Amino acid sequence: MRGACALHDLERVLGGPAMTAMLRGYVRDHWLGVATTADFTRAAQAATTEDLGPFWTEHRIF
């Protein structure tokens, strides 16, 4: 349940179009491969100029 809430909150931070683009790129880049939390946080950070460090801490995503 927390994962879904975190994704919803991340969409509010990034905005709908940026979230969609980030997720599409993330899936494309990791298709049939291994993906880590660090890969996801890097992709999300690349989608915004806002520092997402506090977001990850708040949602306990390390």
Task: Write out residues in the chain with pLDDT < 70, as ranges.
Answer: 1
Rounded Cα distance, 21 and 28, in Å: 11
Residue 20 · residue 44 · CB < 8 Å = no
Please tell me the pTM assigned to this model: 0.88
| pLDDT for the residue 1 | 65
